[in-house]
Amino acid sequence: MQDESKNIVLILIVLALFTGATIELSEGSTIIGILLFIIAVGMVSRIKLTGDHAAFKSSKTYLFAGLFTMAAVAMYNLATKSSIGTLDSMAFLIGASLFAMGTSKKDIRQLGEFGLYISGVFTVLYIVFYTFFGIFNIDFVHLFDHYFVLIPTVSLLNFTSIPVEIIAIETITLYGLTETMTIVIGGPCSGLYSMFLLIGIVVAYSRMERIELRKSLTILIFAICVAYVANLVRVFTLYVVAYRYGIETMMIFHTHLGWILFAGTAGLIMYIMNRKDMLRK
């Protein structure tokens, strides 16, 4: 049970690092984003997997498929002269994972399979919620941003007497001490990226460790709740920073420090829950 609790904590750390990487790659520093991805992969290797439950055996096909995928992502970005985005990052991770799965060393193959589950699940969920739903005019993302992120955080601002006004489904006007600013909730602020990554991590861990479905669902639901609450704390803190110091300071905090706040909040919640032995029930 001690190893299992340690693994769950590591899963939260990996989640925070991957979240930070996606935010940095899409809105901040590409170098920092890549570095965070490398650290996240290193942390994945610290998750102890028992036995040999790999669903995929070593094959040169995976090596070539991985190299082709990574090269395709790199060539596409060079040809279009575009910056590395969230989907680009996940596609590259899919390629790197396939390459690792094609090696002969067991630990590297397990790491590759773990990465494939994470990136594959994230990519599928991203396409479903951000692309497929859009084609059929299903407004899930905007409604989620409004009712599950904007409304709760604005309610907290009203409770603390910070002047704010909702002017659109994802937009508020915040009357700060130094300026009046318009802030849009969306992208990483919605917390959906974190949840997609978390679902992928839990699927990977549950699949490779053959954890029973009921227990996997319990861990998944609990961890999603942690990610959701942590994201609300992060967004609320960004509002407070904007109110006190202005939009430019808030954007710096949003890009480079917001995910660290997310990690700290998630870790604190997990620590409290572990002390209450909620995960052992």
Angstrom CA distances, 116 to 182, 262, 277, stand at 39, 24, 31
pLDDT higher than threshold 80 for residue 10: no
Give 182's strand partners.
Answer: 173
pLDDT higher than threshold 80 for residue 240: yes
Q: What is the C-alpha separation between 40 and 262, in angstroms, rounded?
A: 15
What digits encode the pLDDT tens for the residues 189-232? 788 887 888 788 888 878 877 878 888 888 788 878 877 888 89
Q: What is the C-alpha separation between 56 and 63, in angstroms, rounded?
A: 13
pLDDT higher than threshold 90 for residue 124: yes
3-class secondary-structure state, position 186: coil
DSSP assignment string, 68-93 = HHHHHHHHHHHHHT----HHHHHHHH
What digits encode the pLDDT tens for the residues 69-98? 999 998 988 888 777 777 888 898 899 889
Q: Which domain holds residue 69?
A: 2-280
* Tally of structural domains, the chain: 1
The model's pTM: 0.79
**E strand residue ranges, 147-247:** 164-168, 171-175, 180-184
Instruction: Confirm if 112 and 103 have CB atoms less than 8 A apart.
Output: yes
Instruction: Confirm if 234 and 261 have CB atoms less than 8 A apart.
Output: yes
Task: Give the pLDDT band (50/70/90) at residue 278.
Answer: very low
Instruction: Confirm if 279 and 222 have CB atoms less than 8 A apart.
Output: yes
Average confidence (pLDDT) over 239-243: 94
